[in-house]
A and B are shown apart, each in its own frame.
Chain A
Amino acid sequence: MSVDPLLKMENISISIRGSPIVQGVSLQVKPEEIVALIGPNGAGKSTLVNIMLGLLRPDSGRIVIKNGLKIGYMPQKLIVPDTLPLTVQRFITLGKPASRIIVRELLIEVGAERILDSPVQKISGGELQRVLLARALLRQPDLLVLDEPIQGVDLNGQYELHDLIGNLPRKRGCGILMVSHDLHLVMATTDHVVCLNRHVCCSGHPDHVARDPAYLKLFGIEGARTLAIYHHDHHHDIHGSVEGK
């Protein structure tokens, strides 16, 4: 069975101020599929996401987006100025007007209904991620783009949030592209993993990627096991092989 992808990137390359950030990357997200984009810091994950969202224009390559595709986006870092009095309810409806009842239902869905009227600056990191997810869901997206969705969330919250995200495609029929720096965190929920280090090192089913030599080389055997804190002690050339140092 072949389904048209929601979004398809072909051979995308971009250099920023002379240095190549992303080179010849192709990937696609199909309906109800969860694709994880993983890679170490500086691998070009966020750059690729920005290209996908139309925030950056690639130097070369092609992006095909399904007609009328609605994207819900959850940015990696969001700091609301302290000077701006804004409740969670107002924050969520900034993207699209909605009644209080609808916003409350969404917050119940993401498990954060307690904070409906809290100032958005006063909520915890984990609550903010849920609120951002609620704001993205309010648009009833066909494709969710989540940039490091569990950043700043405590360990228990991480599992909860992953469960929540993992169930979204079935519940809402949307595709998800999720950025993470850690394969093990996304392994359980993901259908397809793309391992990025400027170019695509390897991709496929998470179990397959975890055993892929290119993946092990990128993160190191030890790093592949623990890898939440990854020390980049060697340099990759553009082909992904390690330069001596």
Chain B
Amino acid sequence: MDEFLLRVLFGGFGVALIAGPLGAFIVWRRMAYFGDTLSHSGLLGIVFGIVLDVNPALGIAVTCLGVALALVLLQRQQSLATDTLLGIISHTTLSLGLVTLASLETVRCDLASYLFGDILSVSITDLYWIWGGNLFTISILVWLWRPLLAATVHEELAYVEGIPVFRVRLIFMLLIAIVIAVAMKVVGILLITSLLIIPAAAAQRFAQSPESMAVLASFFGCLAIGLGLYASLQWDTPAGPSVVIATTTLFILGSAVSRWLQP
């Protein structure tokens, strides 16, 4: 295997591994739309990265976190239904990102690579960011696992049992922001949620415990990265969308197999 392919695979696996467990939590907590909103605001983060001349991953993570905090505060007021609120923020931030990016005349950039990912151009620096973010997120998630699971099942009960649910929720949002930042390179901001949710949904049919669902989701994610990249190189299709289609294919195959396995 040549170095290019190794680099690409290594980058993809780095994202898929952490997307598995985090995606499982997003599925359990019904936060798919929330994840979409955060990732759409990521484009604005890229613009900040360009303007301030820092790594786009950092710009995305900080922006996503800011949007997540704003959402928590707005949700508390309860003047709008949550999905309405998410819809407003999601598309406003995406549009703001597109408009400001277009107005930065001096910058020539490939918009499509931001929106749909550009994993084939992953650099060594990108790998550092991806695996740094991956290891950080996984260690936090292991530490946070039980309280986060308890709060996911029933927030009030968890609170009475002594879990600081608000802090747990904030840390969880931070983790999502980091994963969006590192996953942007692979599937782009428009497709990130699919990499979080579809492998987890596929894993659900085979899992006996929360942990096995998280691990299986990582496995399916990695498999999809491999299949998607193979398809992309074989037939010259765009890599990010090919990976997403691969996850969906696995999901459908998984559903069929699990149905067939059941009496």
Contacts and interface: CB of A to CB of B under 8 A. Distances in A.
B157 A83 contact: no
A75 B157 contact: yes
Contacts of B156: 50, 53, 55, 73, 75
A166 B260 CA distance: 48
B161 A139 contact: yes
Contacts of B30: 81
B28 A83 contact: yes
Interface string B202-218: 00100111101100000
Contact of B157 (A73, A81, A84): A73
Contacts of A55: 156, 159-160
B199 to A, nearest CB: 13
Contacts of B213: 84-85
A96 B210 CA distance: 17
Given A94-B149, A94-B150, A86 B157 contact: no
Contact of A84 (B146, B153, B159, B161): B153
Contacts of B153: 78, 80-81, 84, 86, 91, 94
Interface string A38-71: 0000000000001001110000000000000001
Contacts of A86: 153, 209-210
A8 interface: no
B76 interface: no
A50 B156 CA distance: 9
A94 B149 CA distance: 8
Nearest to A81: B28
Nearest to A139: B161
Nearest to B30: A81
Interface in B137-193: 146, 149-150, 152-154, 156-161
B85 interface: no
Given A80-B153, A81-B28, 9 more contacts: A53-B159, A78-B153, A81-B30, A84-B152, A85-B208, A86-B210, A90-B209, A95-B161, A145-B160
B27 interface: yes
Interface in B1-53: 27-30
B204 to A, nearest CB: 6
Contact of B154 (A50, A75, A85, A145): A75
A53 B161 CA distance: 10
Contacts of B159: 53-55
A96 B208 CA distance: 21
A87 interface: yes
- Mostly helix, strand, loop or mixed at chain B's interface? helix
Given A53-B156, A85-B204, A94 B146 contact: yes
Contacts, number: 64
Interface of A: 50, 53-55, 71, 73, 75, 78, 80-81, 83-87, 90-91, 94-97, 135, 139, 145
Given A80-B153, A94-B150, A95-B150, A87 B160 contact: no
Nearest to B152: A84
Interface of B: 27-30, 146, 149-150, 152-154, 156-161, 201, 204, 207-210, 212-213
B28 A53 contact: no
A135 B212 CA distance: 23
Nearest to A147: B156
B153 to A, nearest CB: 6
A54 B161 CA distance: 11
B141 to A, nearest CB: 16
Given A73-B160, A78-B154, A78-B157, A83 B209 contact: no
B210 A53 contact: no
Contacts of B207: 85
A96 B161 contact: yes
Contacts of B158: 94-95
B29 to A, nearest CB: 8
Contacts of A85: 204, 207-210, 212-213
B209 A95 contact: no
A50 B150 CA distance: 18
A71 B28 CA distance: 27
Contacts of B204: 83, 85
Interface centre among A54, A71, A87, A94 (most CB of B within 10 A): A94
Nearest to A84: B28
